[in-house]
């Protein structure tokens, strides 16, 4: 995709953080945007911001973990904009801090429904439209936690490693079949968004310290959502298979490739003290 002008993009999780910034930036570059989020008010505000800058966007509200709702959404977008989508940005996501030992199935399934299945549903619901557009691109948001694991992030790691594997396989398939769809997997480092506020915390003590967790997250986040959006869109235009967002994601990429499995020692020594009071 060499230009975004006149293209149609579906962006999930567009009510906050990275999704909102990507939706606004895409619209600024002339893309028509189908912005969606489970929070209707939040996505309505994103669309208001786009329209006030003379962009073209429409707000949708549904749960990405609901497969049927995602397929209905894809059909509604095509109908409303009278065209097949060119881009799907599967960005909606949530966090969970819990040890494997004590994690509740309910929390694990909640996270996988959104962060893993939501990405697969979005990909497969929109794929026929992207092919039909003759100039399509799937953008799936993983994380630096799709490259390394950490303490208390097993569910998040499972989903984000899963997104990476699924997305890389899709890219290979699209190339092998010579279909007109590019595929990128996004690995953000820490981005200053609301994700820590909406994350579920479930620790051994049963009374995880949310204030401490949010403070730790604030210290770990080096990049603004606007900068993240810029990097993601450059990655789309550059057709990059792997889009690393932020200096920390670049460091993690190098560490993981150079020290191999020994990164686990670093994660144990560096990440645990930062999460003081939240140890399993
Ligand atoms: N912020 C970071 O440091 C960071 C790092 C790596 C990866 N990511 C990933 O980036 C993506 C965006 O996260 P963010 O940091 O912008 O968070 P955010 O909380 O600011 O935004 C996430 C949005 O997703 C929406 N959402 C949540 N559950 C949903 C559901 N079931 N259906 C539809 N929408 C839903 C929320 O309402 C919210 O508007 C996520 O996939 C996250 O895992 C974030």
Per-residue pLDDT of the chain (280 residues; tens, 9 = 90+): 889 999 999 999 999 999 999 999 999 999 999 999 999 999 999 999 999 999 999 999 999 999 999 999 999 999 999 999 999 999 999 999 988 988 999 999 999 999 999 999 999 999 999 999 999 999 999 999 999 999 889 999 999 999 999 999 999 999 999 999 999 999 999 999 999 999 998 765 555 677 878 888 888 898 999 999 999 999 999 999 999 999 999 999 999 999 999 999 888 877 665 555 555 4
- Choosing from 145, 156, 166, 263, the catalytic residue is 156
- Which SS3 state, helix, strand or coil, does residue 21 take? helix
Strand partners, 36: 60
* Atom 42, ligand 1: residue with shortest CA distance: 93
Beta bridge partners of 200: 96
Instruction: In whole angstroms, give the CA distance from residue 67 to residue 109.
Output: 14
Going from N- to C-terminal start, the domains of the chain cover 8-274
Does the annotation mark 156 as catalytic?
yes
Q: What was the pLDDT predicted at 203?
A: 66
Cα distances from 107 to residues 64, 95, 112, 200, 277, in angstroms, run 16, 10, 9, 8, 20
Ligand 1 pocket, mutate which of 17, 125, 243 (most atoms under 8 A from CB): 17
3-state secondary structure of 193: coil
Give the DSSP H/E element, type plus range, for residue 187: strand 181-188
Q: How far is the CA of 71 from the centre of ligand 1 (A)?
A: 20
Helix axes 225-237, 17-28, angle to 10 degrees: 50
Please tell me whether residue 209 adopts helix, strand or coil conformation: coil
Regarding the beta carbon of 93 and ligand 1, being less than 6 Å apart is answered yes
- Check pocket membership of 63 for ligand 1, CB cut-off 6 A: yes
Ligand 1 atom index nearest CA of 195? 19
Over the range 15-45, which residues count as b (16 or more CB within 10 Å of their CB) and which as e?
A: bbbbbbbbbbbbbeeebbbbbbbbeeebbeb
**What is the CB-side half-sphere exposure of residue 115 using CA atoms within 13 A?**
27
Ligand 1: does its nearest atom lie under 6 Å from the Cβ of 150? Answer: no
CA distances from 171 to 57, 134, 140, 182, 233 (A): 28, 16, 11, 7, 18
Rounded-to-integer distance, Cα 47 and Cα 58, Å: 6
Q: Is the CB of 37 under 6 A from ligand 1?
A: yes
Q: Which CATH architecture has domain 8-274?
A: 3-Layer(aba) Sandwich (3.40)
- Taking the alpha carbons of 77, 81, 87, 89 in that order, is the dihedral positive or negative? negative
Confidence (pLDDT) at 204: 59
Best CA proximity match to 92, nearest among 46, 28, 136, 29: 46
Burial class (CB in 10 A: 0-12, 13-18, 19+), 176: exposed
């Amino acid at each position: 995709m060499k230009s975004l002008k006149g293209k149609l993009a579906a962006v999930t999780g567009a009510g906050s953080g990275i999704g909102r910034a990507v939706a606004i930036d895409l619209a600024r570059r002339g893309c028509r945007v189908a912005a969606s989020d489970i929070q209707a008010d939040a996505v309505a505000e994103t669309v208001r911001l786009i329209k006030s800058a003379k962009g073209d966007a429409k707000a949708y509200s549904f749960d990405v973990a609901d497969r049927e709702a995602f397929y209905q959404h894809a059909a509604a977008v095509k109908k409303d904009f009278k065209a097949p989508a060119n881009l799907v940005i599967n960005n909606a996501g949530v966090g969970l801090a819990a040890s494997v030992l004590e994690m509740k199935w309910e929390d694990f399934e909640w996270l996988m429904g959104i962060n893993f299945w939501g990405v697969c549903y979005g990909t497969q619901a929109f794929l026929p439209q992207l092919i039909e557009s003759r100039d399509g691109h799937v953008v799936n948001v993983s994380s630096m936690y799709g490259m390394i694991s950490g303490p208390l992030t097993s569910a998040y790691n499972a989903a984000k490693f899963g997104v990476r594997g699924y997305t890389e396989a899709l890219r290979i398939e699209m190339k092998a079949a010579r279909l007109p769809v590019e595929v990128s997997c996004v690995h953000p480092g820490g981005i200053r968004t609301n994700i820590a506020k909406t994350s579920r915390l479930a620790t051994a003590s049963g009374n995880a310290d949310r204030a401490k967790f949010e403070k730790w997250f604030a210290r770990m986040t080096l990049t603004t959502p606007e900068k993240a959006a810029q990097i993601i869109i450059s990655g789309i235009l550059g057709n990059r298979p792997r889009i690393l967002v932020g200096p920390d994601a670049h460091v993690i990429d190098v560490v993981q490739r150079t020290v191999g499995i020994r990164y686990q020692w670093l994660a144990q020594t560096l990440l645990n003290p930062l999460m003081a009071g939240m140890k399993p």
